[in-house]
Chains A and B, each alone.
Chain A
């Protein structure tokens, strides 16, 4: 398999716009082709320039041979320049004895050395062309009179002058190349922008909507009718959208049915439980001191409470999952809320011999539903003490601001979790340790937490170094940067929170009494 070069990899993974990438990648072969064609053109131009000069010289020789022009004209540099169309360095005619018949002033300096050898060649009937190291172009032509070589015509042209026309042409071609490349780049850029990039962008936006759960927007018809790869992609994406949308509706429907079923079931279960709950205390008073009867009644009472707890939790979760629940968000100081939650759950920690370290302090403005948030803390505390090992445990509460959110953590030193357990711990009815048959656990507490936190635009997760090494439950809340006095003002007002707080105090007292 061909290995992709680093350049290509870097190039294609770079932040350069796709249209520019295509334009750059397309223009490179274009430049090479243009360069090649230009080279061929320049060579042709050079050849044609050279041929032009040689033709002029040949014509001049013809004129000499036909007697239409004086041999002496070769000594007239201006006339020669005019005839040849170039600035001739030297020109002259030598006879068969290599004596100069006529020549320009410095002609004799050019007929020695190699020149004499080429003159001999030319006297033998050859047209000789040669460029020397001084960039002089030599042209030797036999002058044929009456079918015999009478002598040799010699032209010496400055090679640079010969190339001047070619160079000018090269500049012109390079200019054309640059203009061509520029125009080609712009055209390719526009073409790819119109035919590829804009369509890919439309697909990208459509896929983003799908990713965000918006399955209602159909892919644009102009993309669906395309017969190329983009059209195929658009059609695939549209098929996927329709399929997901269909399944989403189906799932939503199923979830709705499930919630309705659970809710109905819970209410159906709660109604017959009510007499048990209300009549059991009466029955306890009347049963007397029969130990067996007390034991039976106690078992019955415990099971009834557990069942009621499960039904309550199930109803709670069902409510949270339904769209009927409304939240009462307020701007509050999270530290105070944590303090309250600890306070109200202190009996729980005491019962389980768990020490609470609350490090949440200061002013942490948050916008929360006070009651729901209390539910979250209660569930997390309950969870923490529930899985504390049979020893003196410790729960550490902390909160820190990170960016535009607050991370609140509840850390315990309990039994800890495996990574598999961590993945499922927020699922409904999931219990971390089935083997312990914790009859008091409904398996819904963390699901309820998750649902509440999500309704607060936050996330919840759990970390654990492993079994026996404790767990840390963390959740985020959006950070609300409100001033302290405002928070304090809020705290001073008699509000729903105060009512709920009072209610909770009352409930706790009742529980204790019970």
Chain B
């Protein structure tokens, strides 16, 4: 009996302690008021109309959706009505430019936020006949407290002149231009292509190899993809060869024609003439709309595609596996240079008189956060002008990130990109860009000589 009593006593102690322990565990919900919360019921509901881009561009489109979703999450009183320009009935930059001009002229602001890449900005300038139209009709984000601090310093220092020295919006998009090559085609032809430090001689050898392969096997593989006159992508290779011939980065950027540039221009056309011996371009390029034929770059038809980093998203949207056959390589040079072809673009701008300007500015501020910058880098494998935790890809998980990392490490901020011929022929000859493109194509097609192309340029120069 006594033993039972002792046992019960021990069990009682254990039960009490167990209950004590278990009493400390959460069996009932615990509610603790969080500090720093205000009542927001007084805020008005606002809808921002945003004309945007990057439809069907894989994660670049996703980024837009996520930006909207997250912004609305953080700003429950603001709704974002966003449309990709294709869905809003626009086909090209000039179409968008016309709409912007129309809104300015009628004060009927259908969109609070519009596209504002250099192409659109230039088209509006032409339509309004005012290169500084941005200052009048767009919000200058230099005036928004703390906004310029969200952009990388070189953006404020080097990129605002294209917009009349105002900050039209977040420089979210950065890019490098590459000589993409299809690794499967290279393997087929049995050539090893230099990803970095490719010289023009290297390029000639690769082009010849393609030609020889076609001769030997009766195939029709082109060395270079090319589209119609809407976008002659090979112009970037032409431009970088020209710049490498000039050599001096400061001189390259100056929109002043010089004797060095004169000689370099001829040298570059002569290089195109050399390439032309090997039928480098895909036949029928004049009938080929770039957007519709982007897939030709990885379907085995061509070896090289000259284009920007954005092609990663374009191709990923079409075929993820084939995208990983595409290898980025540096544009070839005549001689080693300390600069590369690339740039940063703002893409979006807020109209100064837009009815929901303040909310639109908030959205632009949200896009300029490190969180979005990081997403951009991860989603596009391209740099961004927005300050973030990552200046570029720092993981280098694949060939795209590795290339980005390498270019960033080698050339730092020494990037140059221009949509006009000012840097070649001087500011007064900016509009000769298209002429140069067409003559370049003619030389590559073997229709005219380098000298003839060069002479024609000189004839058309002011």
Determine how close the nearest CB of chain B comes to the CB of A121; give it in whole angstroms: 6
- Using CB atoms, name the residue of chain B closest to A149: B37
Contact A144 B37 (CB under 8 A): yes
**A151 contacts chain B at the CB level, 8 A cutoff:** yes
**Given the contacts A95-B76, A131-B27, A39 and B20 also touching, CB distance less than 8 Å:** yes
Check if B371 sits within 8 Å of A148, measured CB to CB.
no
CB–CB B73/A128 < 8 A: no
B38: chain A residues at CB < 8 Å are 147-148
In chain A, residues 1-44, which have Cβ atoms closer than 8 Å to a Cβ of chain B?
A: 5-7, 10, 32, 35-36, 39, 42-43
Q: Output the nearest chain A residue to B3 by Cβ-Cβ distance.
A: A7
CA distance A36 to B72 in the complex (A): 53
From A42, which residue of chain B is reached at the shortest CB distance? B21
Interface residues on A, range: 35 or more
Instruction: Name the A residues within 8 Å of B29 (CB-CB).
Output: 118, 121, 128-130
Q: Mark A111-140, 1 if CB is under 8 A from B, else 0.
A: 000000010010001111111000001000
Tell me the complex Cα distance, A469–B74, Å.
119
Task: Report B-chain residues with C-beta under 8 Å of the C-beta of A125.
Answer: 33-34, 37
Contact A72 B66 (CB under 8 A): yes
Instruction: Produce 1/0 per residue, A130-171, CB < 8 A to B.
Output: 110000010001101111111100000000000000000000
Contact of B73 among A95, A121, A127, A147 (CB under 8 A): A95
Question: In the complex, what's the smallest C-beta–C-beta distance from B445 to chain A, in angstroms?
Answer: 48
**Considering residues A101, A118, A137, which has the most beta carbons from chain B within 10 angstroms of its beta carbon?**
A101
- 8 A Cβ contacts from B55-83 to A: 66, 69-70, 72-76
Instruction: State whether B32 touches A148 (Cβ < 8 A).
Output: no
A141–B30 alpha-carbon span in the complex (Å): 12
Q: Does A96 contact B (CB under 8 A)?
A: yes
Please state if B34 and A126 are interface contacts (CB–CB under 8 Å). yes
Per-residue interface assignment for chain A, residues 452 to 467, with 1 indicating a CB less than 8 Å from any chain B CB and 0 otherwise: 0000000000000000
Residues of B within 8 A of A144 (CB): 34, 36-37
Give the size of the chain B interface in residues (CB under 8 angstroms): 37
Chain A residues 32 to 76 lying within 8 A of chain B, measured CB to CB, are 32, 35-36, 39, 42-43, 46-47, 67-72
Q: Which residue of B lies closest to A163 (CB)?
A: B25
Which residue from chain A places its CB closest to the CB of B72 in the assembled complex? A95
Residue-wise, chain A 388-400 has the 8 Å CB interface mask toward B (1 for contact) of: 0000000000000
Note all chain B residues with C-beta closer than 8 A to A35: 13, 17
Within 8 A of B (CB), among A390-442: none
Q: Cβ of A147 and Cβ of B37 under 8 Å apart? A: yes
The one of A43, A96, A149 in contact with B24, judged by C-beta atoms closer than 8 angstroms, is A43
Q: Closest approach, in angstroms, between the C-beta of B364 and any C-beta of chain A?
A: 14
Q: How far is the CA of A101 from the CA of B66 in the complex (A)?
A: 9
Q: A6-B2, A67-B369, A126-B33 are in contact. Are A148 and B40 (CB under 8 A)?
A: yes
Complex: A64 Cα to B46 Cα, angstroms:
24
B26 at the interface (CB under 8 A from A): yes
Docked-complex contact A142 and B34, CB < 8 angstroms = yes
CB-defined contacts of B250 to chain A, threshold 8 Å: none
Residues on A with C-beta less than 8 A from B32 are 126-127
Task: Give the chain A neighbours of B24 by CB distance below 8 A.
Answer: 43, 46-47
Q: Which residues of B contact A39 (CB under 8 A)?
A: 17, 20-21
Q: Is the CB of B17 within 8 A of A36?
A: yes
Listed residue (B6, B32, B374) with the most chain A CB atoms within 10 angstroms of its CB: B32
Question: With contacts A129-B26, A129-B30, A142-B37 known, what are 11 further pairs, Cβ within 8 A?
Answer: A7-B5, A10-B2, A32-B13, A35-B17, A67-B371, A95-B72, A101-B73, A130-B30, A144-B34, A144-B36, A148-B38
Pull 13 A–B residue pairs with CB atoms less than 8 Å apart, ordered by A: A32-B13, A43-B24, A46-B21, A121-B31, A125-B33, A126-B34, A127-B34, A130-B29, A142-B34, A144-B36, A144-B37, A148-B37, A150-B75
**Using a CB–CB distance below 8 Å, which chain A residues touch chain B?**
5-7, 10, 32, 35-36, 39, 42-43, 46-47, 67-72, 93, 95-96, 101, 118, 121, 125-131, 137, 141-142, 144-151
